[in-house]
Amino acid sequence: MSRRVRKILRQIHKSTTHYKLQELASNVQSDLDRRNLSYDEALTLGNQIQAKADLIQGDTIVYAISDRDAYRKTLELYLRDGLLTRTEQLLLWEERRRLGIPDETHDKLLNQLLLQWKKQGKKIDIQRFSKPEVRGKTADES
């Protein structure tokens, strides 16, 4: 781990607001663009920023290079037409498994996005969805 990464990690752990975390995420993106950080380092820092953001009260979304941000972009893409179908939910479930995104994180992110879109006057319909079965059990039982 480089000296720069350790310094940013310390700043992340000291941060107490979503605004400060977003500022750090922007700095990480700039460092990546200037090739001062590798993509793997930026991804690691972004995941740490997201983990810290979860510990801070509020419903603000922090945009950082991270697995969660990649998932958020996919979720926004599926919500764009105002309907979240069962097929889209199945694809999102597979994406969560691939990225290691827990269901609680998905629920929180979905609620944050729905709240933002509701404030903009947009309406989203979500079809009823049962989780797929895994080896004779539902995903909830595994």
User: How confident is the model over 43-91, as pLDDT tens digits?
Assistant: 999 999 999 998 998 878 889 999 989 999 999 899 888 888 889 989 9
CA distance 141 to 5: 39
In a domain? residue 51: yes
Name the DSSP class of 140.
T
Same structural domain, 7 and 56: yes
Same structural domain, 61 and 73: no
Q: How far is CA 45 from the centre of its chain?
A: 13
Give per-residue pLDDT as tens, 13-51: 999 999 999 999 999 999 999 999 999 999 999 999 999
Structural tokens at position 7: 């310094």
Q: How far is CA 22 from the centre of its chain?
A: 13
- From 16, 42, 65, the end of a domain falls on 65
- From 36, 65, 94, the end of a domain falls on 65
What is this structure's pTM?
0.74
H-run or E-run covering 138: strand 137-138
**Residue 142 confidence class, pLDDT cut points 50, 70, 90:** very low
CA distance 5 to 42: 8
